[in-house]
Structures are given as C-alpha cells and as structure tokens.
Structure 1
Amino acid sequence: MKEISEWRLMNDEAHTQAIAQIQGTESTHTCERCGNPAYCAIDDNQQSCWCFELSKRDTSSLPEGKCVCRACLASLPPQ
C-alpha cells in the first residue's frame, strides 16, 4: 500500500527500486520458506518495512526473527 500511495510522488529511480523490491530482483536475503530472493527494508537500514503495512499473519511456523518473501508471507494464515 505504501508504494501505491506514494507512487505519484516518486521519481523514476524510486519507481525502479520499488518494482525491483517487489519482484525480488533487489533483495537483502533469501526467503526462509521458498529460498527465493526477498527484500527487507529493516535489513536495508530503513525505519520500517513493507510488511508492517500488511494485516498480521501467523508466523509461528517460521524460525524466530526470519523474514520471508511477499508471496510466502501472503500464503500464511491471518493471525
């Protein structure tokens, strides 16, 4: 949602970076569930991450403190 609400305020470079993060071409780690590239803004020294904007998911099946990609997080049941 953050990307959508701020899209018109972003320049071309920011658009490219947001798309790369969403598609997994810019990553900070490997997803703990599927092994695909994933992006975590906290790992990229940001104050908040895209996942903070989503409804809470049951992450009890994941290793503590480990991030997953957008697809895997979306597949987890709501909390």
Structure 2
Amino acid sequence: MDNADLLDQLRSLSARIQELVDRCQRLGDENRSLRSQQEQLVGERSQLLAKNEQARSRVEAMIARLKSLEQHT
C-alpha cells in the first residue's frame, strides 16, 4: 500500500468519524427533546387525573344530595 492509498483511507475514516459524531449530536438533541416532551406529558397527565378526581367527587356529592332530597320528599 502506498502513501496515497493510506491517505485516502485516512480521509475516508475521518469522514466516517465525523458522520458518527454528527449522528451522535442529532441523537442527543432528539433524546433531550423527547425527554422534555415526556416530562410535559407526565405533567399534563397528572393535571388531568386531578381534574378527573375533582369531577368524580363533585358528581358523587351531587348524587348524594339528590338521594338526600329524594328521601325527604
């Protein structure tokens, strides 16, 4: 193998390494974005569960009041 072949291989390897570095950067960015979205969705889910529980409590209270009114008439 002569120097020109070695130089070509080195350039090819260098380009491949740069592609891998770029891919790692993109994957890291995507990972951070997905983690952020996940945190947001977990927060939204928590809020929805709390609202659902409040609505359930209100409906149960209304049913209890209606039953109470029904018994008094």
TM interval, shorter chain, is under 0.3
The structure number with the bigger radius of gyration is 2
Q: Calculate the TM-score normalised by the size of structure 1.
A: 0.21
Structure with bigger strand share is: 1
Using CA pairs under 8 Å that are at least 6 residues apart, name the structure with larger relative contact order, 1 or 2.
1
Q: Calculate the TM-score normalised by the size of structure 2.
A: 0.23
Structure with bigger helix share is: 2
